[in-house]
Amino acid sequence: MGPTSANMCPLRIVFVKSQAAKEKLKPALDAGNVDKTMAAPVTAIFGMDIHFYEKLPKLFPHVDAKVWFKDLPENVLEYIALRNSSLQAAYFMLAARSQGLDCGPMSGFNNAKVDEAFFAGTTVKSNFICSLGYGDASKLFPRSPRLSFEEACKVV
């Protein structure tokens, strides 16, 4: 239920669970992500439907919002879908974590290979992937530092 502009909901998810599906994903992964992705019980491919506007008559029925987007260039639609699908995916991860699952989001993969393997013939493109499961806390390194409020924010 993550918020999106005009309730466009561009997120599309493929849950990679079977060994066959994992083998299909494997060639697209960066070397450092292969072992952990293959070991995860499931990996979610968070995709974004670039033609999200086709669903707006259902998702935003009180006004013809489809006309706001349908004639925009593909790169603009992709930018809009990226922002909004990222919001939705972040809410998905918060929900998964609230249920006790560990989440390993990553962008270390070849988007074109993932798109060909899982979204061929559609208007969906991959955004990022996220392995889900119950991790071994003893194998985790401490969380990396974060910027302080003063370093990251400005009150005006």
DSSP reduced 3-state for 112: helix
- Write the pLDDT tens digit of every residue in 104-153: 999 999 999 999 999 999 999 999 999 999 988 887 778 899 999 999 99
Rounded-to-integer distance, Cα 72 and Cα 80, Å: 10
DSSP reduced 3-state for 134: coil
Q: How many CA atoms lie within 13 A of 65 on its CB side?
A: 18
DSSP notation for 53-95:
GGGHHHHSTTTTTHHHHTTS-HHHHHHHHHHHHHHHHHHHHHH
- Write the pLDDT tens digit of every residue in 65-104: 999 999 999 999 999 999 999 999 999 999 999 999 999 9
pTM score of the predicted model? 0.93
Rounded-to-integer distance, Cα 8 and Cα 81, Å: 9
